[in-house]
Structure 1
Amino acid sequence: MTLSTKLFFLLSLLLLTACHRDLDPVAFQADGRPPKLSDWHVVEVRDGKLVLNQGVVPYDLNTPLFTDYAHKLRTIWMPKGVSAKYDPTDTFDFPVGTVISKTFYYPRTADGKFSDVARTFDTSKDFAGEGLDLSQVHLVETRILVHRESGWAAIPYVWKDDQSDAMLARTGAVIPLTLVDDKAAREDFNYVVPDESQCSSCHAQDWVSRKIHPIGPKARHLNRDYHYAAGDENELAHLVKVGYLSGAPAPADAPRNANWADEHASLDARARAYLDINCGHCHNPKGAANTTGLTLDVSVPEDRHLGICKPPVAAGRGTGDHLFDIVPGQPDDSILPFRMNSADPGTMMPELGRSTVHREGVALIKAWIASQSGGCVAIH
């Protein structure tokens, strides 16, 4: 590491420390629904930046869930003296007191109009140390997942127009926005903040108990590097180092999903990772979509359980009059990309969490299906 790089990291740490001095300690809210996001003291606005409090650790996923092209700042905080227990397959076993936050935001457009947001995958201007530079981004919502004695609770907050704080939105919200791409093409849409029950419907990984859990913090999603203020480090290794994770193997021995946008990875690995994070939390043997017989988490073999030559459980407009979930070599005859390519509430999948079509995601799944060999025989 060069001297200039060391000085940069030291300056970054000093700036973060200065911000932390101005924040009250993180407040674990053991019950109730605090009216303001700032009541938690997890992330707060200071001097034109959204900063992370002391002990609040940011993280990202190899392949993230699509939400109308929104960017996301994810964080974990735990009380002193406790840690999550590593699991190679499922969500880590987080202790009571854990607070996970996810802030949804967009890069601002060049003209600065508040309702215009950039449709871009470029995050180079988003981050300021481990927080967000508000001159560059438009904050939309922050969701809190808190682990209480009674279980996990999901609490949504919507950011005020002046970006000073986010307010409790138990019944959700609808926010009109316009996506603007790098060629100035515009797409009006309604960004939908889910209400508490909708949050619970996605986070209930076991549809019998209906108990909710985090979705993203699994080994295969977190086994990647993150650009922390002090430098790049593997997220699993970093969580172990700060005392937030116990029992984890070396990153090389942990599972790892592909980055859906990484063209150096195989097409199959990218598509399976995309379906895993976007669909697998419902389409699994215990999830909300378990009656469909369609399993889309990354562990399922590539057979009828994954949808190959599998007829749908229910007919209707959601099938587009197609006969099988996946027809090898024929994406345009397959139900899966048909539903992904729709924004009609009665047709689209996933059912919640988006109002727009993820064009690049649809293209990935179509290319994956097109690469498959074989065919399906319809039984009449």
Structure 2
Amino acid sequence: MIKQHFKINLLFFIFILGFFSSCNKDEIEYLVTEDTEEFKEKLSDYNIYDGALKNLIPTEDYHLYEIASPLFTNYAKKQRLIKLPPNSKMTKIDDLNPSFPDGTIIVKTFYYHIDDRNPSLGNKIIETRLLIKSKGLWNVGTYIWNDSQTEAVFSLDGQSKNVAWIDKNGNEKSVIYEIPKKQDCIVCHQNNAEISPIGPKLRNMNMDVSRNGEIINQLAYFQSIGMLDDFDHNLIGSLGNYFDESIPLDERGRAYFEMNCAHCHNPQGFSEAAKKGLDFRRETSLENTGILNKKQQIDRVIKDVYMPWIGTTTLDEEGYAVVHDYLNSL
């Protein structure tokens, strides 16, 4: 029995070596992108927030957007904002990313509640990431918040921080939170050798939200305030929330893979990931994803926190449960 157990573990170790042999960060060739935007030194220079920055109250130029299925980042909460230039709007192409006008700023701020049971006790804000479109190209910038929560400063070098909080069940939690380097951002955000947004696909924003005290489809809301061109949101796809048990398990599993894996694992994504022969985009047929041939390996890689490759140092227990159940159903 001991020999058999050792053999199984050895085989998995060999698989892991093969799966990640070309993903050694010190050896691979990273995408080099052209910078068309010079980032400001301080986050406050962008006039994103009214009043004290730590309250995260956006100015009227920055609009909240929500997504149905998020990327897991060590249980951090995220505020997502978008600013468009005056007299411009997003334009539908399909149900993926819309066409964004030059001058668009996408803001994502990562934070933890001090106590998830009582958010009014305040937050610990870690970082804010900006995507700015300039001269037809997207530029990535990261701002690290200070301990007093009064300012965030531009950084190319990343940082690791120990973060502690109390979860919704009253358990004390802690994590080593990794703020990405610029190159780490480019790894995940590259598509066809250019930087592009990941979260704000139309199908991932095609959901009901609360605005001005009313429940309204988010795309319809953007249209009503002139941020998005006119089309029938009922005629495009909707990704769905992978935690929503009212939708079929296969849709939930594919939604998790799309938002947590497909930004790298697709033919136009990060080159080292593309070599693995996995294509987790939702529009790819199940037979062509590679999932059926590597179900057990994918399950173990996620469970042992080898993936997602950047920004994850602890297991997404709830997300893993969705993936595990989905893979076992195939």
* TM surpasses 0.5: yes
- CA contact 1:143–1:155 (8 Å) conserved in 2: yes
2:237 is aligned to 255
Alignment pair present for 1:336 and 2:298: yes
Alignment pair present for 1:217 and 2:200: yes
1:359 to 300, 317, 321: 317
2:146 is aligned to 160
- CA contact 2:97–2:201 (8 Å) conserved in 1: yes
The structure 1 segments of at least 4 consecutive aligned residues displaced by more than 4 Å after TM superposition are: none
Deviation string, structure 1 residues 279-311 (Cα, Å, up to 9, x no partner): 1111112111221111101111111524212xx
> In structure 2, do the counterparts of structure 1 residues 48 and 84 end up closer, same or farther at CA, with 3 Å as the change threshold?
closer
Partners of 1:245 and 1:304 lie apart in 2 by 33
The secondary structure found in structure 2 opposite 1:292 is: coil
Partners of 1:242 and 1:158 lie apart in 2 by 32
The secondary structure found in structure 2 opposite 1:52 is: coil
Partner AA of 1:278 in structure 2: N
> In structure 2, do the counterparts of structure 1 residues 48 and 36 end up closer, same or farther at CA, with 3 Å as the change threshold?
closer
Instruction: Provide TM-score, normalisation by structure 1.
Output: 0.73
Alignment pair present for 1:231 and 2:214: yes
Gaps of 5+ in 1: 1-29, 110-117, 127-132, 310-324, 327-333, 373-380
- CA contact 2:114–2:166 (8 Å) conserved in 1: no
- CA contact 2:54–2:125 (8 Å) conserved in 1: no
Deviates more, 1:39-48 or 1:334-343: 39-48
1:138 is aligned to 124
2:48 is aligned to 42
Higher relative contact order (CA 8 A, sep 6+): 2
Q: How well do the aligned residues superpose, as a CA RMSD in angstroms?
A: 1.9
> In structure 2, do the counterparts of structure 1 residues 42 and 182 end up closer, same or farther at CA, with 3 Å as the change threshold?
closer
Instruction: Provide TM-score, normalisation by structure 2.
Output: 0.83
The secondary structure found in structure 1 opposite 2:144 is: strand
- CA contact 1:72–1:104 (8 Å) conserved in 2: yes
2:166 to 180, 187, 208: 180
How many Å apart are 1:47 and its aligned residue? 8.6
The secondary structure found in structure 2 opposite 1:277 is: helix
2:27 is aligned to none
1:191 is aligned to 177
2:291 is aligned to 307
The secondary structure found in structure 2 opposite 1:239 is: helix
Counterparts of 1:1-380 in structure 2, within 5 Å, are 31-46=37-52, 49-109=55-115, 118=116, 135-149=121-135, 151-206=137-192, 210-247=193-230, 249-288=231-270, 289-309=273-293, 325-326=294-295, 334-343=296-305, 348-372=306-330
Partner AA of 1:156 in structure 2: T
Gaps of 5+ in 2: 1-35
Deviation string, structure 1 residues 63-120 (Cα, Å, up to 9, x no partner): 11000011111011011111121122331110110000001111112xxxxxxxx4xx
> In structure 2, do the counterparts of structure 1 residues 44 and 212 end up closer, same or farther at CA, with 3 Å as the change threshold?
farther
- CA contact 2:302–2:320 (8 Å) conserved in 1: yes
Partners of 1:230 and 1:261 lie apart in 2 by 25
- CA contact 1:45–1:164 (8 Å) conserved in 2: no
1:312 is aligned to none
The secondary structure found in structure 2 opposite 1:176 is: strand
Partner AA of 2:175 in structure 1: F
How many Å apart are 1:58 and its aligned residue? 0.5
Deviation string, structure 1 residues 302-355 (Cα, Å, up to 9, x no partner): 11524212xxxxxxxxxxxxxxx11xxxxxxx0111111123xxxx01110211
- CA contact 1:77–1:100 (8 Å) conserved in 2: yes
Deviates more, 1:42-51 or 1:299-308: 42-51
Partners of 1:221 and 1:360 lie apart in 2 by 20
- CA contact 1:89–1:220 (8 Å) conserved in 2: yes
Calculate percent identity across the aligned residue pairs: 29
Partner AA of 2:233 in structure 1: P
Partner AA of 2:317 in structure 1: R
Partners of 1:100 and 1:43 lie apart in 2 by 14
How many Å apart are 1:160 and its aligned residue? 1.3
The secondary structure found in structure 1 opposite 2:194 is: coil
Greater fraction of residues in helix:
2
How many Å apart are 1:228 and its aligned residue? 2.5
Partner AA of 2:141 in structure 1: I
The secondary structure found in structure 1 opposite 2:80 is: strand
> In structure 2, do the counterparts of structure 1 residues 78 and 304 end up closer, same or farther at CA, with 3 Å as the change threshold?
closer
Partner AA of 2:254 in structure 1: R
Partner AA of 2:278 in structure 1: L
Deviation string, structure 1 residues 230-288 (Cα, Å, up to 9, x no partner): 433211111112222114x2222121012111111111111111110111111112111
- CA contact 1:44–1:165 (8 Å) conserved in 2: no
Partners of 1:192 and 1:107 lie apart in 2 by 17
How many Å apart are 1:180 and its aligned residue? 3.4
